[in-house]
Structure 1
Amino acid sequence: MAQPNKKLPTRTVDISCAKCNAAIFKYHKGGKGALVKCFIERIAENYTEQACHCPGCGQAFARETLIRGAPAYKIIGGKVRMK
């Protein structure tokens, strides 16, 4: 299977919790679609203490998984907002 591109996209987006609006991380996102998965190597700044849990309210917003052989977070629908 193909690996994700090693060259990071220039655009960064702010990912925040949909429930409490706490900042989760800044992410180098490619394309203009919805946020479905986040490759860990593309995270610019991580504000979480515990992986896949919001630092404000503690709710789980993603699941850890391997996508195309690379570690990633699979986002649970409706749990995060992207700006």
Structure 2
Amino acid sequence: MAKPRKKLPSRTVDVNCAACRTALYKYKKGGKGSLVKCFVERISQDYTHTPCTCPGCGQVFARETMIRGTPAYKIIGGKVQVK
């Protein structure tokens, strides 16, 4: 399969923890669907201290994986809110 586009999308979304509402990322999201995966190269600001773990409540909200040969985080359903 093809790699994600090199040109970053213009739309930036805030990704927050669903349990404690702590800010996790500012992410350059393409498309209008729900957030299923976050490519690491598209994260513009990262507020987490350890990858895929909320700094506020310690909940694991994603898993590290490789998607189409690019490092990404697969979001666990219902663990994050996108605004």
Q: TM-score range by the shorter chain?
A: over 0.9
Unaligned runs of 5+ in 2: none
C-alpha displacement of 1:34: 0.4
What's the secondary structure of 2:16's corresponding residue? strand
**What is the match of residue 33 of structure 1?**
33
The CA distance in 2 between the partners of 1:58 and 1:45, in whole Å, is 19
Matched, 1:52 2:52: yes
Q: Deviations over 1:15-69 (max 9, x none)?
A: 0000000000000000000000000000000000000000100100000000000
**What is the match of residue 75 of structure 1?**
75
- TM-score normalized with structure 2 length: 0.99
* Identity value in percent: 70
Moved segments of 4+, more than 3 Å: none
C-alpha displacement of 1:7: 0.4
What's the secondary structure of 1:41's corresponding residue? helix
The CA distance in 2 between the partners of 1:6 and 1:42, in whole Å, is 10
What's the secondary structure of 2:64's corresponding residue? strand
The CA distance in 1 between the partners of 2:55 and 2:80, in whole Å, is 12
**What is the match of residue 23 of structure 1?**
23
Number of aligned pairs? Answer: 83
C-alpha displacement of 1:14: 0.1
The CA distance in 2 between the partners of 1:51 and 1:57, in whole Å, is 14
